[in-house]
Amino acid sequence: MPSPKAMASKPKPTVLVPLYIYPLTEQTWAPLYDAITCHPNVNFLVIVNPNSGPGGIPLPSHDYVREIPKLNAAENVYTVGYIRVHYCKRPISEVYDEIDTYAGWAKDFERSGLGVKGILLDETPNHFSKERAEYLDALRKHIKLASGILGDRLLIHNPGTPPDAELAPEASLRISGPDVVITSEEPYVRFHSEEVQKRLKDYHYDRARSGYLISGIPKDEIGEAVRELSDRGAFIFATDLVEDFYESFGESWTSFVAAIDAE
């Protein structure tokens, strides 16, 4: 599979999948597997989240041990692990431990197919302070040096809004930042509000690094929304669901992926 940077440079956006659905059976994630198979020209960036983080030590539950290898076996799938940092208020040692737990999965990667190729840090801040910048950079270094994190060791920040530039500097600067920034995590109506649009304009991030998580889109407007979002970001999740939108696929899932494939 191409690297995330290569994915982001393509006109066709990548499907961003916050997969916070516990795989009770082998059929739970069937809509995702079907989409991966039916759309081989679409790349999927899948965020696995066993238990608001990596779950048990050293491995997650047997259900995740059974299902994650299926994702990793697909050439058009790139898996990353979920970690919550609570706006840099969590003790950094706890976050290090969760990164190391995800990295530990790869000890069995060749045999079992377990492992992730990056980390999503959820609840990153959007306002700069020296302490926050140092905290996030320390996590970046830990992730990039973790031998058990596979692939490009992708780093995603999710502030849900464009952060101050000092918190997500370009890689060309002395201190590099995240590879992907979720610059908007909003309901569709609020996404189009003057407040949100102004911040997206004033704190602009280039398309190649931008991700969008947009909920509550009317089903008959999914295609139009995808076309709009794909001009703004290279990583997109769009759904008709207005609640529990990361815990189920929703009626618009199939049309959403088809719209991405049409880009």
Query: CB of 2 within 8 A of CB of 223?
Result: no
**pLDDT confidence of residue 109:** 60
Average pLDDT by stretches of 10, the chain with 263 residues: 52 95 97 98 98 93 95 97 98 97 81 91 97 96 94 96 92 74 98 97 94 98 97 97 96 98 95
Looking at the chain, the number of H-run helices and the number of E-run strands are 10, 8
**pLDDT confidence of residue 172:** 58
From CA 213, how far away is CA 229, in angstroms rounded?
A: 10
Measured at the CA of 180, the angle between CA 128 and CA 101, to 5 degrees, comes to 90
**pLDDT confidence of residue 198:** 97
Report the first-to-last Cα separation within the chain, whole angstroms.
Answer: 19
Domains defined for the chain, CATH in brackets? 4-262 (3.20.20.70)
**pLDDT confidence of residue 112:** 81
From CA 250, how far away is CA 248, in angstroms rounded?
A: 6
Sign of CA dihedral 188, 193, 196, 202: positive
In three-state secondary structure terms, 91 is coil
Tell the burial category of 151 from Cβ atoms under 10 Å away from its Cβ (0-12, 13-18, 19+): middle
Phi then psi dihedrals of residue 164, to 5 deg:
-55, 145
Type of residue at 196: V
- Determine if the pTM surpasses 0.85: yes
